[in-house]
Amino acid sequence: INVSDLVDESYKRINEVDGKVNAFLTLDEENARNKAKALDGKVGDNPLFGIPAGIKDNIVTKNLITTCASKMLENFDPIYDATVMEKLNAENVITIGKLNMDEFAMGSTTENSAFKVTRNPWNLDTVPGGSSGGSAAAVASGQIPFALGSDTGGSIRQPAAFCGVVGMKPTYGRVSRYGLVAFASSLDQIGPITRNVRDNAFVLQSISGVDQHDSTTVNKDVPNYTDSLTGDIKGLKIAVPKEYLGQGVSEASRQSVLDALKVLEGLGATWEEVSLPHSEYGVATYYLLASSEASANLARFDGVRYGYRTPNPKNLMELYKKTRSEGFGDEVKRRIMLGTYALSSGFYDAYYKKAQQARTLIKQDFDNIFEKYDVIVGPTTPTPAYKIGEMVDDQVTMYARDLLTIPVNLAGLPGISVPCGFTNGLPLGLQIIGKHFDEETIYRVAHAFE
């Protein structure tokens, strides 16, 4: 087959279903078709050669509008490519378009987008999850074979779980954040969303590695991830935190994990219940730290340098105020206020510093478990996808539902979500968490399971 046929398939499918799903914000059809034509008749020696992809709209793409689903960046036309885009382009991946998300990646339903509401392909009355909801929905509905998302507190894994696809949040430092519009820099990572584990391993392979533009990337060899897809997990030691099957976790999620553990046992793994005693502080710690970092990162949107600018301001102060009041949505403003408060003098020790201390304790909990076990397994989310609108006026309940994904970001660990069943026609996800830079073992387990 020709690359043009693949690209054609993708746009055909988009025409068929995206009127209902609403996953894409921008399509790049002319460029994609031209690029494909230039590759027709050629055979690549890399697995991603000519493969169509969708990109979350907080990853900058040269000459392709990148909005972060915010009015603030509605017409922002980046002058450079993110490092992950350079890497994908070098492999001749074809960018089909940019995908919807919660504004600046803040949210868990994609309803915080300034532009459209994306729907879950399994049930159009429910949300696809978030913040990478467009990415997960586009892959789940067969519009593209893979998408890139970003995960600060679960935004790859949670939508992957809600949409029944595979989503990997790599170790902090594995993938360059250069060109990812910063939300909370100490937590953000880019990762792949795919239909199966093998595809996921291929994509992570190609976007990983040290980058001179991101000093938090680590200079470590990138393993051949597909080598670990042997199906063999005999002797593997699994830890199951009791906090991940306890309060706040639905019976359906709990049962799907217990069933998955039976499958893994059947493949020769063993599991034991363990405790991550500080995980109850995860949500509070995360929302404090992430908001603090966001308040600093989003200070750059001031109407002066780029992005939205209020028309006819009377003076500089009014320019700042009106630009930011008009350009940001409610949830983004909420986070900026919370973060600015937490970082202000007099409150810093009580909030930010305390949260940093709690973060260390949460990380130590994981370190202790990984002295004895190879992976940690639990549900990705405490429930399946919500009804559209159900959470809009209840952000605090929505924050609390991030309890199973957030600790992984706080500790900088890698974690994947793979489909592990259905309840009432909606998918559920199994989360597999690994040691730092041990994505290989995660893939091995995920592949054996799927």
Catalytic residue numbers? Answer: 56, 131, 155
Q: Which span (136-144, 147-155, 232-240, 341-349) binds ligand GLN, by CB under 6 A?
A: 147-155
Which of 264, 259, 25, 249 lies closest to 137, judged by CA?
Answer: 25
Amino acid identity for residue 377 in this structure: V
| 3-state helix vs strand vs coil in the chain, percent to 5 | 40, 15, 40
Q: In what order do the strands lie in the sheet with 146-151?
A: 24-27, 94-99, 52-56, 146-151, 189-194, 166-169, 415-423, 426-433, 375-379, 237-241, 270-274
CB nearer to ligand GLN: give 23 or 36. 23
CB atoms within 10 A of CB 142: 15
For residue 258, CA distances in Å to 38, 219, 263, 273, 436 come to 50, 38, 9, 11, 25
Q: Which span (18-26, 33-41, 104-112, 120-128) binds ligand GLN, by CB under 6 A?
A: 104-112
Q: In this chain, which of 52, 133, 153, 414 binds ligand GLN, going by CB under 6 A? A: 153
Distance CA 403, CA 249 (A): 10
For residue 290, state whether it binds ligand GLN (rule: CB under 6 A).
yes
For residue 282, state whether it binds ligand GLN (rule: CB under 6 A).
no
Strands (E), 319-384: 375-379
For residue 111, state whether it binds ligand GLN (rule: CB under 6 A).
no
Residue nearest to ligand GLN (CB): 155
Distance CA 133, CA 127 (A): 8
Counting residues that bind ligand GLN (by CB under 6 A) gives: 13
Which of 135, 85, 94 lies closest to 11, judged by CA?
Answer: 94
Site track 381-420 with ligand GLN (rule: CB under 6 A), x = hit: ---------------------x------------------
The least CB distance from residue 249 to ligand GLN, in Å, is 17
Q: In this chain, which of 154, 173, 241, 379 binds ligand GLN, going by CB under 6 A? A: 154
Q: Name which of residues 358 to 377 contact ligand GLN (CB under 6 A).
A: none
For residue 160, state whether it binds ligand GLN (rule: CB under 6 A).
no
CB nearer to ligand GLN: give 50 or 379. 379
Contact set with ligand GLN (CB under 6 A): 105-108, 131, 151-155, 183, 290, 402
